[in-house]
């Protein structure tokens, strides 16, 4: 009875832990089971694009319903790939379907949500334009250089695309990297696709670059050598006019971008401000067509109502087929000096709109803060004393007191650190409980070895039945990798002395050719992308059930072997 009560208490405790973990993680990020992605979203009517649909798991004999694509696209090919690997205790398992599509018409086309069982992938919009290259002049191999604009301003993004076309098979024909004097060059993408020209199908290798001219005048994009075993040539050169910035715009306002946004976040609620306690304000600027280094820093005005302690700016960049999007993130620790109402002035940022060719202003509206009186703890600890270092005397004691806000800035920078710490603590708590329960179970087994054996808790027969059940569950979930892992676990329990590592090592002692054949088909389904024949999982499970298995532990081999699921 005592043991049963302990077991029930442990189960309730574990259940409570999982509820806690779920409640913490359910409010954070979630991952879709089925996702779709394309290699590019802008194509021409005679060009192909690649669509990848990924399932977070293994698909055995099923696939998504790709017929929903046939309204707007023709499916030229569909190749399935599966991946399963376990590294340092972490498992990665997914199934990819890679499709080659060609659009049926010009305009805005939609790749709709693709259904698979209870899941649906995300939708993707594709822009299809007219064919820009209508003739190849009967050339089997040729190159093409494209620019998205014929003239840009200084430091404005210019997209350059270089393509190698071939209607014959080419082996090892590399294109040298683009280098342009007088401009910063950043590679955007390298893709391949097919294009129909003059009733011929050309394979196309495309390199795309983002150029940022640093001087006004003429920018020469040089030709690049294409050297291979079957073709030697050069890409075509281009010339682009680089305009100086408008004379009425100051240098500290010059940020040529097609889209600029500014937003802010606070580390805690604004209705909980107290004198002397810091709050972190994080301002993020994103600018399409600029690098992170091109975004100008913010300038915040001083105030006698609060002190500001800036952190080092964080620069980042996002790259896609549309070019570069620069990101600048600035954080400030704000410490109120007095209680009552405090007004933070509007923040404005001037930038040059390259789409509408005019100066624009991005703003953060003025903010009003209500600050409460300092708490007893704040006064007792002299928490963040608001001393102006710049205007104070060179008193070492004063400087040391004022250094506290700078030290606390990193720890109070963002509530994300608090969330991460909370989640880490929960995981550590779970690991401690698992270790505790494991040791408790070991002590219980040591105290009552005979009762455990008599109850059959650790008997080989029961273990094998549990493995069979796990294999059946994995099969119902179409998780091919889990089916294989379950069979390996079954084999290690059935043949503990054999050091089982592969399915083939299980088939050998069993001596059943049909079982070995199913194991081979199972491995091919997982690791051979060209495999078309699938394993019969139902037959495989039935054969495992019919095998003779040990009736007791390894020391009782004299008792012989009996069926796991006896028929009588």
Instruction: Please say if the pLDDT value at position 434 is more than 70.
Output: yes
- Which CA distances in Å does 525 have to 34, 81, 86, 94? 20, 9, 18, 13
Chain centroid, CA 506 distance in Å: 38
Least confident of 251-255, 296-300, 387-391, 481-485: 387-391
pLDDT digits (tens, 9 = 90+) for 94-117: 899 999 999 999 999 999 999 998
Q: Count CB neighbours of 151 within 10 A.
A: 12
Query: Per residue, what are the HEC states of 539-555?
Result: HHHHHHHHCEEECCCHH
The closest alpha carbon to 64, from 78, 76, 50, 77, belongs to 78
DSSP state of 45: T
21: left (phi over 0), alpha (psi -120 to 50) or beta: alpha
What SS3 class is residue 475?
A: helix
Report the greatest alpha carbon distance in the chain. Answer: 98
What does the alpha-carbon distance between residue 192 and residue 205 come to, in Å, rounded to a whole number?
Answer: 5
Tokens of 494: 């059935």
* Measured CA angle at 429 (ends 424, 432), to 5 deg: 125
- Which CA distances in Å does 450 have to 459, 462, 483, 487, 521? 12, 16, 33, 29, 43
Q: In 289-322, at which residue ranges do the beta strands (DSSP E only) sit?
A: 306-310, 314-320
Residue 193 pLDDT class (50, 70, 90 cuts): very high
| pLDDT recorded at residue 209 | 95
What does the alpha-carbon distance between residue 161 and residue 142 come to, in Å, rounded to a whole number?
Answer: 14
What does the alpha-carbon distance between residue 427 and residue 90 come to, in Å, rounded to a whole number?
Answer: 15
How much of the chain exceeds pLDDT 90, in percent? 34
| pLDDT recorded at residue 264 | 94
What does the alpha-carbon distance between residue 112 and residue 68 come to, in Å, rounded to a whole number?
Answer: 7
What does the alpha-carbon distance between residue 23 and residue 44 come to, in Å, rounded to a whole number?
Answer: 47
Instruction: Please say if the pLDDT value at position 28 is more than 70.
Output: no
What does the alpha-carbon distance between residue 340 and residue 372 come to, in Å, rounded to a whole number?
Answer: 6
Tokens of 97: 């379907």
Q: Cα Rg for the chain, rounded, in angstroms?
A: 33
Query: Per residue, what are the HEC states of 156-181?
Result: CCEEEEEEEEECCCCCCCCECCCCCC
Burial class (CB in 10 A: 0-12, 13-18, 19+), 454: exposed
Instruction: Please say if the pLDDT value at position 252 is more than 90.
Output: no
| pLDDT recorded at residue 515 | 82
The closest alpha carbon to 95, from 62, 57, 51, belongs to 57
**What domains appear along the chain, each with residue ranges and CATH number?**
34-129 (2.60.40), 141-243 (2.60.40.10), 254-413 (2.60.40), 456-563 (no CATH)
What does the alpha-carbon distance between residue 336 and residue 369 come to, in Å, rounded to a whole number?
Answer: 9
Please state the rounded mean pLDDT for residues 202-215: 93
Among 48-62, 407-421, 522-536, the range with the most confident prediction by mean pLDDT is 48-62
Please state the rounded mean pLDDT for residues 515-533: 73
* Measured CA angle at 132 (ends 131, 134), to 5 deg: 75
pLDDT digits (tens, 9 = 90+) for 41-84: 999 999 999 999 999 888 877 899 999 999 999 999 999 988 88
What does the alpha-carbon distance between residue 395 and residue 401 come to, in Å, rounded to a whole number?
Answer: 10
Burial class (CB in 10 A: 0-12, 13-18, 19+), 155: buried
pLDDT digits (tens, 9 = 90+) for 536-560: 888 888 888 877 665 444 433 433 3
Query: Beta strand 232-234 with 256-257: parallel, antiparallel or unpaired?
Result: unpaired
Question: Which uninterrupted H or E stretch holds 442?
Answer: helix 415-447
Instruction: Please say if the pLDDT value at position 394 is more than 90.
Output: no
Burial class (CB in 10 A: 0-12, 13-18, 19+), 329: middle
340: left (phi over 0), alpha (psi -120 to 50) or beta: left
The closest alpha carbon to 160, from 132, 179, 174, 141, belongs to 179
| pLDDT recorded at residue 448 | 46
Instruction: Please say if the pLDDT value at position 438 is more than 50.
Output: yes
Residue 2 pLDDT class (50, 70, 90 cuts): very low
Query: Beta strand 42-44 with 124-129: parallel, antiparallel or unpaired?
Result: parallel
Mean of the per-residue pLDDT values for the chain?
78
């Amino acid at each position: 009875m005592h043991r049963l009560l302990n077991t029930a208490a442990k189960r309730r405790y574990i259940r409570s832990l999982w509820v806690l973990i779920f409640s913490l993680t359910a409010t954070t990020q979630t991952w879709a089971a089925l996702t779709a992605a394309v290699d590019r979203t802008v194509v021409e009517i005679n060009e192909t694009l690649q669509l990848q649909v990924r399932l977070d798991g293994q698909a055995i004999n099923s696939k998504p319903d790709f017929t929903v694509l046939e309204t707007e696209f023709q499916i030229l090919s569909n190749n399935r790939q599966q991946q399963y690997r376990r590294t340092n205790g972490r498992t990665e398992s997914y199934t990819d379907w890679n499709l080659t599509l060609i659009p049926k018409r010009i305009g805005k086309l939609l790749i709709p949500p693709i259904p698979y069982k209870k899941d649906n992938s995300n939708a993707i919009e594709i822009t299809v334009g007219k064919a820009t290259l209508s003739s190849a002049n009967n050339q089997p191999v040729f190159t093409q250089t494209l620019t998205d604009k014929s003239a840009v301003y200084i430091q404005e993004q210019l997209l350059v695309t270089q393509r190698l076309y071939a209607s014959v098979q080419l082996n090892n024909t590399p294109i040298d990297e683009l280098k342009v004097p007088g401009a910063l060059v950043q590679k955007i993408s390298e893709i391949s696709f097919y294009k129909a020209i003059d009733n011929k199908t050309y394979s196309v290798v495309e390199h795309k670059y983002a150029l940022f001219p640093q001087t006004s005048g003429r920018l020469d994009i040089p030709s690049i050598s294409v050297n291979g075993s079957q073709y030697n040539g050069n890409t075509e050169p281009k010339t682009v006019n680089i305009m100086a910035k408008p004379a009425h715009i100051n240098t500290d306002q010059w940020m040529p971008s097609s889209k600029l946004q500014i937003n802010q976040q606070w580390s805690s609620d604004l209705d909980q401000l107290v004198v002397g306690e810091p709050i972190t304000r994080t301002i993020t600027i994103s600018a399409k067509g600029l690098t992170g280094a091109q975004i100008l820093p913010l300038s915040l005005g001083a105030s006698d109502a609060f002190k500001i302690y800036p952190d080092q700016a964080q620069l980042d960049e996002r790259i896609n087929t549309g070019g570069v999007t620069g990101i600048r993130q600035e954080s400030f620790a704000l410490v109120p000096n007095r209680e009552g109402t405090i007004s933070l002035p509007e923040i404005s940022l001037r930038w040059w709109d390259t789409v509408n060719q005019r100066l624009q202003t991005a703003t953060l509206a003025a903010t009003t803060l209500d600050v409460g009186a300092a708490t007893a703890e704040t006064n007792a600890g002299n928490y963040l004393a608001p001393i102006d270092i710049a205007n104070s005397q060179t008193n070492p004691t004063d400087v040391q007191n004022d250094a506290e806000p700078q030290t606390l800035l990193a720890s109070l920078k963002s509530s994300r650190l608090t969330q991460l710490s909370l989640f880490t603590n929960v995981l550590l708590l779970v690991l401690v409980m698992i270790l505790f329960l494991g040791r408790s179970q070991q002590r219980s087994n040591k105290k009552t070895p005979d009762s455990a054996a008599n109850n059959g808790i650790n008997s080989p027969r029961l273990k094998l039945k549990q493995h069979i059940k796990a294999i059946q569950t994995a099969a119902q979930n179409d998780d091919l990798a889990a089916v294989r892992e379950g069979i390996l676990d079954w084999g290690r329990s059935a043949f503990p002395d054999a050091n089982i590592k592969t399915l083939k090592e299980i088939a050998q002692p069993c001596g059943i050719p049909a079982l070995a054949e199913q194991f081979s088909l199972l491995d091919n389904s997982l690791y051979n992308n060209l495999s078309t024949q699938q394993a019969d999982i139902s037959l495989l499970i039935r054969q495992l059930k019919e095998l003779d298995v040990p009736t007791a532990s390894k020391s009782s081999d004299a008792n012989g072997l009996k069926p796991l699921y006896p028929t009588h």
